[in-house]
Structure 1
């Protein structure tokens, strides 16, 4: 008879507030974890999961556009021509579209938008406090 695993401590409860405020919302990707982080009230976890999903989309797209996934010539930033047809191209394009659909759902998710706005508000407040502390130290 196996015991069910103990629920893990939400990551957000294991880090300090100062450490949490180091995080920056990415511009630049995990489905189930996204919702788990939402249940835990962990915006940073949600945004990291969104980034991994976005990365899946962009990587699949890259392999769909370029056989072997190489976009640039070695040692120079000259873009290689896109492949018109190569083995796996269609599959990679379809996978990229699936990732894009999930990524867009993450971005549109009300919990994500609300937690993002809260995080940005909290970050502005945190930065103001840190700025005031720096001014006090300088004087």
Structure 2
């Protein structure tokens, strides 16, 4: 078995090789989804982030309509990455948790715009996570993987 994520695999052609994993694992290695989703992702400013959230959610809906669980889950991961990265920048100046000497910084509410951006991402992330179609597809995907291992 090949380790996950393996950037040489086309996960649309071989969805059985995909692993859901924790958090944002695979966002930069799961092809062709990375190429479709990464260009949409942004946290630069609130206007760009609003557009990114709308575009990522539209892609999620496209994957959902195609019954493409891997695409749905990857869109979820990009929404999650938008949320977590924006929260980090909202709490730590420059997004860095450590200072120049390597000491941990105390979190603060350093950037109100990044906090708003995080909330835009979180709203859509919560919608995806609560989507009945996503939940069913995830359970079915996990069931198929368990059956294949037997």
- How large is the Cα RMSD of the aligned pairs? 2.1
Which position in structure 2 is the counterpart of 1:127?
149
Question: Could you tell me the TM-score, scaled by structure 2's length?
Answer: 0.66
Q: After TM superposition, which residue ranges in structure 1, 4 or more long, deviate above 4 angstroms?
A: 73-76
Gaps of 5+ in 1: 1-10, 129-139
Residue 25 (structure 1) aligned to one of 20, 23, 30: 20
| Residue 117 of structure 1 pairs with residue 112 of structure 2 | no
- 1:121/1:74 Cα in 2 relative to 1: closer, same or farther (>3 Å)? farther
- 1:84/1:56 Cα in 2 relative to 1: closer, same or farther (>3 Å)? closer
Which position in structure 2 is the counterpart of 1:53?
79
Q: How many residues align?
A: 110
Q: How does 1:38-117 map to 2 (within 5 A)?
A: 38-73=64-99, 76=102, 78-85=103-110, 89-117=111-139
Gaps of 5+ in 2: 1-9, 25-55
For the residues of structure 1 that align with 2:100 and 2:143, how far apart are their CA atoms? 43
Higher CA-based Rg:
1
